[in-house]
Amino acid sequence: MDYTKLLNDKSGKVSRVGIIGATKGYGYTLLAQIPTVAHMQLRVICSRHTDECVDVLTEIGYDPASIVVCRTEEEIRAAAEDVIIVTPDYRLVMECGITAMVECTGNTKVSSDAAMIALKKGINVYMVSKETDSVCGPILHQMAEKYGAVYSLVNGDQPRNLLDLYSWAQVLGLEVVCAGKSSEYDFVWDRETGSFTYMDGEHESEALPELAQYWHYEGTETLKGRDSLLEKYREVISADLCEMNLVSNVSGLVPSRPFLNYPIAKISELADIFIPKEDGGILDRTGVVDVFYNLREKDEASFCGGEFIVVRCRDEKMWDLLAAKGHVMSKDNKYCCIYYPYHYMGLETPLSILLGDLMGVGGHPECRQVTIMAGVADRDLPAGTELKVYGHHHQIDGLTPELLVRADVGDAAPFYLLNGAVLRQDVKKGQPVTLQDVDLSGLSTYALFLEGLKLG
């Protein structure tokens, strides 16, 4: 997309941004980028730790004299229009004259409530909390349509980047066989020493010269060999499945399988892997979402948790020309992999905000609960077990996520509705937690989920 129109916008409009959950990770990168962006002003940030907010803003380079802590509506009304308000109450963010609310907490209750408050006031919502969108996305898109606002996922996180790539393919009339991303950390091998490193910062490097025999891709047997050597590093990551849940709900693409495939693959191999089995790939069906582990040499560039689509090549002569340019093609030239090797977190997010605030772009009222991310017991869980989301990957102890087509889901409970829930009855290993196993009746997010299901 050409962003010149945004850059040269003469309307005088300014995106006045409020951020909830602003000081760490994604929120920090957005705070750091906003001062460099035309037509954008940071108006308010929210965290329970207001001192930390002030410290972070000062560290980034915001003028301390322009930062005001407000704990009530009266204090907000008294604050000057050009100051940055810091508040501990997310509900006050929508009282600060913002045009854009960015939600980064990962807390489904807070983020869904904040989104509903904002949309009912006609404030555009930019949702970073993928956990919330996986449960409430369909109804929040409908609420935006109803109140003349934008509800949007954000660039900088994989779901929006992948949906942008997918929509690009749709406009061009390309058939998308598979859409997906790489998992967060690379598998890195040093050809000279035979040393292997999983780049999550938690595992020590290990000597693995045996990987040489599976380095060159010779078909799916190569994948099996890599799996056997690297099995201890393979896992189903909640965040990955959640992100593919979001993509599925907007695009209509379905999971390749409930736990996704996670092949250990090099970028150059993707067009030979994410294709139908009859053509030598791993897919039982097409029109799917999936995830891979990026395998690379020590001196090769990373995929950076980026996004890809694999498309079917229709015109042989055209794709022969493109293959000669070095594009990632299957060995039989029937498929091509097109990819973005990046997601830049909050650095990119201002684009989504400006597209929404200035051009009304980003909403997907067609969004439906195409898939549901469920939680399967990885051991016998007795009644009385409390389920808690924890850790960097927002997982739940005792549960492994699986991504299911809604039509096949039965009464499995959405994974991120289970945070804080207590099992009412035993759940056996291998069984999903169902809506009957927990009491969700008091959750506003559950009510929103049910409303979303009514959309069809």
Q: And the tokens for 302? A: 């990373």
Place of tokens 């996670």: 262
What pLDDT was estimated at residue 410?
A: 84
In the predicted structure, residue 137 carries a pLDDT above the cut 90: yes
Q: Residue type at 414?
A: P
2's CB contacts (< 8 A; 6+ apart) are: none
Amino acid 273: pLDDT: 98
Q: How confident is the model at residue 393 (pLDDT cuts 50, 70, 90)?
A: confident
Q: Domain 371-453: which topology?
A: Type Iii Antifreeze Protein Isoform Hplc 12 (3.90.1210)
Which token pair is 27?
A: 């929120």
Give percent above pLDDT 70 in the chain.
100
* Integer Cα distance of 438 and 404 in angstroms: 19
Distance CA 84, CA 17 (A): 10
Predicted TM-score (pTM) of this structure: 0.96
Backbone angles phi, psi at 282, to 5 degrees: -115, 0
pLDDT given for residue 59 in this prediction: 95
Question: Does the structure show a pLDDT above 90 at 172?
Answer: yes
Q: How confident is the model at residue 360 (pLDDT cuts 50, 70, 90)?
A: very high
pLDDT attached to residue 334: 97
The answer to whether domain 4-156+346-359 and domain 371-453 are alike in fold is no
Contact 330, 307 (CB under 8 A): no
Whether 92 contacts 76, CB under 8 Å:
yes
For residue 320, the tally of other CB atoms under 10 A from its CB is: 12
Q: Domain residue spans in the chain?
A: 4-156+346-359, 160-343, 371-453
Task: Check pLDDT > 90 for residue 442.
Answer: no
403 and 371 Cβ atoms separated by less than 8 Å: yes
Is residue 432's pLDDT more than 90? yes
For 272-284, how does the pLDDT look when each residue is reduced to its tens digit (9 = 90+)? 999 999 999 999 9
Q: Is 324 helix (H, G, I), strand (E, B) or coil?
A: coil
Q: Is beta strand 335-340 parallel, antiparallel or unpaired with respect to 307-312?
A: antiparallel
Q: Quick one: fold of 4-156+346-359?
A: Rossmann fold (3.40.50)
pLDDT averaged over the chain?
A: 96
pLDDT > 90 in the chain, percent: 94
Q: What is the pLDDT of residue 413?
A: 96
Model pLDDT for residues 64-105, shown as the tens digit of each residue? 999 999 999 999 999 999 999 999 999 999 999 999 999 999
What pLDDT band is residue 22 in, cutting at 50, 70 and 90?
Answer: confident
Q: Could you tell me if 169 and 309 are in contact, meaning their C-beta atoms sit under 8 angstroms apart?
A: yes
Instruction: Indicate if the pLDDT at residue 372 is higher than 90.
Output: yes
